[in-house]
Structure formats: structure tokens, C-alpha cells
Structure 1
Amino acid sequence: MITHRQLSILNAIVEDYVDLDQPIGSKALIERHNLNVSPATIRNEMKQLESLNLIEKTHTSSGRSPSELGFRYYVNQLLEQTSHQQHKKVQRLRGLLIDHQYDISSALHAFANELSMASQYTTLVMRPNHKQDIISNIHLIQANDYLIIMVVVFASGHVEHLHLTSAKRISNDELNKISNFVTDKYNAWSSLQFEQELNSFTQSVSEQDFIKTMFETLQLHFDNQSNGIFMGGKVKLIDALNESNVSSIQPILQYIESNKITELLDDMSNSSINVMIGHEIDTSLSDISIVSSEYHIDDRLKGRIAVIGPTAMNYQNVIQLLNRIW
């Protein structure tokens, strides 16, 4: 446990280091924060913080910079404060969906770019799991003798277009009957009950195979989409890194572009703000932080958003930004 004065000094060092991107000395602290104590007192308190591994001294400067542990201590204070504050929530994604005619990929891409502009960092938006959504309607449209377009309409307003092939031509009346059957049965699907109802619906082997293909196509499509990620402001990640940490760009980008980032965001899956710093993310990473929270399309359908930046991130602004998003 550190004293109130030590906490004030740690907070000042973190905030000045984020602003100035250089180690902070005792004189600079006194001048920038009007501290009514002597430089000797500040230096003694800084030595105490250094002994606790909350700040560290670089070889090229007499100043101090926050350690990963120091950033963690600072962030924990912020999270504790913001958890007791009331935030006016903004449902921005609903407006983007309307603007983009309920094309969710286009809306999420725009959402990622807007978050990047607002935060000034790289952002990730994970596609929501549409298995949590309800299919309200399925339409089948004959494109040619063997190609059929399956139009899937969700309760959230989102629409998907999938391509199917049929071994033989299916009439429009048959397609309508199949559409109604699959729409009715998909949301309450169970393999045993489905087989029984499918046999009652049609004795045609080709129609049964086609309906099974519809279900398999939907399942595979949703499984493939569950890992979909939209990135905004990728160049900002490179801009945020400086000469001392430029070597960490490649492992960070590799991590973002791998399935590891998806697994990490899944593990951080709750409605509160989550912050992971440096080696907390991965033992191979440093100089990077991820701030994550949840977004909602409606009460049922939700996904994850993440802001990625250096460990010297403006955490206060980012946490407040994500706290406003519903």
C-alpha cells in the first residue's frame, strides 16, 4: 500500500509520461503540478515508488518512467473511480446500421474507424455471434436451374445472402414451402426432432438433402463469422510506438492478426471495462495495452470492442469513451 502523496506522485508521473513521452524528473513534477513540497521530498518519494517497482529509472535520463506495474496501479485506480460514475450511454451502432442499410460488415467497419478517430488509437471490433440472434425469416430465390440464393433475415434487422446449389431444379412453390419449414424449425433446432419432422415434411430424398445443406451452410457461415474482426486506424499503432519500442511492432501485429486476439477478447467477455497491459496480454509482448468492453446491437446481440495502444496510453480518455458506448 502506498501513501496518498506517493499515489499523487505516481499519477502525475504516469500522466506526464503519457503527455511528454519522456522520463519525468522531480523538478518537472513540481513545476507542472504546483506541488507544495521540496524537490528533495519528491526525490525521496520517487525512490520509495522505485523500490516498489512502480516506476523505473532509465540509463539515459535522471527522470523516472512508469513500469508495467505502475501503469497497472494507475489503471486500477481509474477503473475503481469510473465504476461508481454514471455515464450517458450512446447507441451509435444502431445509427450506423441504419446508415449502412443493415449491412453489418459495413457498419462494423465504420464503427471501428469512428472509435479510432475518437480515441486516436488502433481499434478492433469483433463481429457479434449471430447464433445469439433469432432468424425471423428465410427466403429462397432461384437464380438459375441449380443456383439458389438464401436470404436470411434476423430479428436485429441484419440480412445475410448465402449461395446454395441443388441437384435438380426446385419449383418456386417448393422453395416457398421449404423456406417456411426451415424458418419455423431453425431457431428451435435439435437433431433428433429435426430428422423426425423432416421425414414428415417431405419424402423426397433430394429435398431432404437440400434442406440439410441449408442447415449445414447456416451453421458453417456463423462459425466462420464468429472470429470476424474489423480494424480501424492500424497506422496509429505504428505512430504510437517510438524509437525505443519500434522493435515490438512486428510481434504486436502478428498477435493482432492471429486467433490469439480473438481468444483474448473472448476471455475478457463481460460488460465492464477490461484493461490488459504488456506481458499481461502475452509473455512475448511488451509496450502495448488493450482496453476492451462490450457493445450491443440490441438486448440480445452483442460483441466486443478493443482499443490498442502503447502502455503509455491515455487510459482516462479511452476508458471514458468505452464507458459511453452501449
Structure 2
Amino acid sequence: MITERQLSILNAIVEDYVDLGHPLGSKTLIERHQLDVSPATIRNEMKALEEFDLIEKTHTSSGRSPSVQGFKYHVDYLLDQASHQQQSKTQRLKTLMASNHYNISSALSEFADEISKASQYTTLVMRPDHKQDVINDIHLVRANAFLVIMIVVFTSGHVEHLHLASQAPLTNEELTKIANFVSAQFKHQRDVRFDSEINMFTNSPTERDFIKNLVSSLEVHIDEQSNGIFTGGKVKLIDALNEQNVSSIQPILQYIESHKITQLLDSMSNVPISVKIGDEIDDHLSDISIITSDYHIDDNLRGQIAIIGPIAMRYQNVIQLLNAIW
């Protein structure tokens, strides 16, 4: 366990290293932070931090830079501080949903861009699992004799449109009756196939086949939509990496675009804000950090935000930003 003064010096080294991009010496720390101690005292404390493997000395400079362990220690301190802070929450996403006419894809795309601009890092916003959302109503509109447009309204205000084929023409009255039946079933038993209810509802083989196709298509569509990820500021990741680690850009982008990122975000969703650094993310990713948090569309429907940057990122700014999002 390090002392309070050593912790203050470590935090100062991390913050200054991120700002300046080079190792720090005792004189720089004293000048930048108005420390009321002698350079010799700072050097002794830095030596102790080095023995704890929290900072390291480079061969080309007399200064010290944070080690990966030092960054992790700094982040743990910030997360502990954030957990004790009462911060007002912004519900920006609700405004974006309304301004985008409750088109969740447009709202989340805009949300990802806004978070990226605010953080100055690449941002991923994972689409909510719509299995958490409740279908409030279903409308069926006949486009032509064999094509039906299904309009699905969720309690969150989100609306989805699907095209359905019918093997035989269905009248507007039949479609209205089917829509009312299916809406009622989904409100009561969301993920259950209601074959027995369908048989009781209608004797028409055409209507039965159409309803089964409707339910199957809707479930597949919701599963596919729930895996969507919206990216903001992807180029910021490239800008943040220097010439020493620019070769890692391709594996990082491949990781982001693979199913592994979804699995990672799922594993990080059990705490309000979670941080993974370097090989904590993946054995082949040693140059980046990922900070995640939840966002809410309503009390039931939520997804995840991930902010991705270099290990030497402005953790305090990002944690404060995420801590303010509801």
C-alpha cells in the first residue's frame, strides 16, 4: 500500500504524462502542481513508486513515466472517487430519441458521435437488447395482395417496420384482427410460441401460417437488431496512437468489428463504470484501454457505451463524462 503523498505524486505523473507525452522529472512535477516539498523528497517518493512497479525510468530520460500497473492503480483511485460522488445525470438520449422521431438507430448513431466529441476518443454504443422492451402494439398494413407491412411499437417509443409475405390475400379486416391478437399475445408471453392460442384464434390455414411467419420474423429481427453497434469517432483511435504503436491499429479495429467486443462489453456490464487496460482486454491488444458504462432509454431498456483510447488516456475526464450519463 502506498502513502497518500505517493498516491498524489503517482496521479500527477499519470496526468502530466498524458498531457505532455514524455517522462516527468521532480522539477516539472513541483512546478506544475505547486508542491511544497523539495526535489529530493519527490525523487525519493518516485524511487519508492518505481520499486512498487507503478512508474518506470526510461533509458533516454532522467524522468519517470507510468507503468501499466501505475495506470491501473490511478484508474482504481478514480473509480473509487467516482463511486462516492453524487452527480446529476443527463438524459440526453431521451431528447435524441424524440428529435429522431423514435428511430433508435438514428438516435444511437448521433449519441455515439456526441460522446466521441465530448470525450475526444472513439466511442461504441451497443444497441439495447429489445427483449427487454415490451411490444405495446402491432399494426398490419396491406401494401398489395401478397405483401404486408408490419409496424411494431414498443413501450420505449421505438418503432420497427418489417415486410411480410402472405401466401394468399388477406383483407384489411383480417389483418386488423390478426394484429390485435398478436399484440395481446406478446404483451402476455413475450418469448413463447403460442401455437395453441393460434389454433383457438382461427381455423384458417392461411391465417395460421401468416401468424407463425409473423412471429418468427419478428423474433429473428429483434435478435439481429440487438447485436448492433454504433461507432463514433473511429479516426480518433488512429490519431491517439503514436508511431511506436501504430502497427496495432489493424488488430484493434478487427477486434472492435468482431463478436469479441460484444462478449467483452457483456462481461463488463456488472458495475456502473468498468475499465480494462491492455492485455486485460485481449492478449494481443497491449496499447489500448476500454471504459464502459450503461445508458438507459427508459427504466427497463438499456445498452452499453464503450470509450476506447490509448493506455495514456484522460481517464478522469472520461469517467466523469460516463458518470453523468443516465
Question: Could you tell me the TM-score, scaled by structure 1's length?
Answer: 0.97
Which is further off, 59-68 or 73-82? 59-68
Structure 2 residue identity aligned to 1:149: I
Q: Decide whether the 8 Å contact of 1:270 with 1:293 is kept in 2.
A: no
Is the counterpart of residue 232 in structure 1 residue 237 in structure 2? no
Specify whether residues 163 and 192 from structure 1 end up closer, same or farther in structure 2 by C-alpha distance, changes over 3 A only. closer
The separation in 2 between residues aligned to 1:240 and 1:311, in whole angstroms, is 10
The separation in 1 between residues aligned to 2:217 and 2:179, in whole angstroms, is 14
The separation in 2 between residues aligned to 1:65 and 1:272, in whole angstroms, is 29
Is the counterpart of residue 8 in structure 1 residue 8 in structure 2? yes
Q: 1:93 maps to what in 2?
A: 93
Structure 2 residue identity aligned to 1:289: S
Instruction: For residue 271 of structure 1, report the CA deviation from its aligned partner.
Output: 5.4
Q: Decide whether the 8 Å contact of 1:55 with 1:70 is kept in 2.
A: yes
Which is further off, 92-101 or 182-191? 182-191
The separation in 2 between residues aligned to 1:3 and 1:216, in whole angstroms, is 61
1:20-169 paired onto structure 2 within 5 Å: 20-169=20-169
The separation in 2 between residues aligned to 1:304 and 1:97, in whole angstroms, is 16
Which is further off, 60-69 or 188-197? 188-197
Q: 1:294 maps to what in 2?
A: 294
Instruction: For residue 209 of structure 1, report the CA deviation from its aligned partner.
Output: 1.2
Q: Secondary structure at the match of 1:235?
A: helix
Q: 1:217 maps to what in 2?
A: 217
Q: Decide whether the 8 Å contact of 1:129 with 1:226 is kept in 2.
A: yes
Q: 1:310 maps to what in 2?
A: 310
The separation in 2 between residues aligned to 1:25 and 1:49, in whole angstroms, is 13
Structure 1 residue identity aligned to 2:311: T
Q: Deviations over 1:81-129 (max 9, x none)?
A: 1111110111000000110011100000000001011111111111011
Structure 1 residue identity aligned to 2:26: S
Instruction: For residue 141 of structure 1, report the CA deviation from its aligned partner.
Output: 0.8
Instruction: For residue 56 of structure 1, report the CA deviation from its aligned partner.
Output: 1.6
The separation in 2 between residues aligned to 1:19 and 1:44, in whole angstroms, is 24
Q: 2:282 maps to what in 1?
A: 282
Instruction: For residue 191 of structure 1, report the CA deviation from its aligned partner.
Output: 8.1
Structure 2 residue identity aligned to 1:226: S
The separation in 2 between residues aligned to 1:252 and 1:63, in whole angstroms, is 30
Structure 2 residue identity aligned to 1:133: D
Q: Decide whether the 8 Å contact of 1:255 with 1:261 is kept in 2.
A: yes
1:232-251 paired onto structure 2 within 5 Å: 232-251=232-251
Q: Percent identity?
A: 68
Q: Decide whether the 8 Å contact of 1:251 with 1:285 is kept in 2.
A: yes
Q: Which runs of 5+ in 2 are unaligned?
A: none
Instruction: For residue 187 of structure 1, report the CA deviation from its aligned partner.
Output: 3.1
The separation in 2 between residues aligned to 1:226 and 1:191, in whole angstroms, is 15
Structure 2 residue identity aligned to 1:314: R
Structure 2 residue identity aligned to 1:204: S
Instruction: For residue 245 of structure 1, report the CA deviation from its aligned partner.
Output: 1.6
Question: Could you tell me the TM-score, scaled by structure 2's length?
Answer: 0.97
Instruction: For residue 190 of structure 1, report the CA deviation from its aligned partner.
Output: 7.3
Q: Secondary structure at the match of 2:237?
A: helix
Structure 1 residue identity aligned to 2:178: I
Q: Which runs of 5+ in 1 are unaligned?
A: none
Q: Decide whether the 8 Å contact of 1:270 with 1:294 is kept in 2.
A: no
Which is further off, 202-211 or 116-125? 202-211
The separation in 2 between residues aligned to 1:258 and 1:270, in whole angstroms, is 22
Q: Deviations over 1:23-63 (max 9, x none)?
A: 11222112212223332332222222112111122233222
Q: Deviations over 1:191-238 (max 9, x none)?
A: 887121111111222211111111111110111112100000111111
Structure 1 residue runs of 4 or more that deviate by more than 6 Å after TM superposition: 190-193
1:188-207 paired onto structure 2 within 5 Å: 188-189=188-189, 194-207=194-207
Q: Deviations over 1:125-152 (max 9, x none)?
A: 1101111111111011111121111100
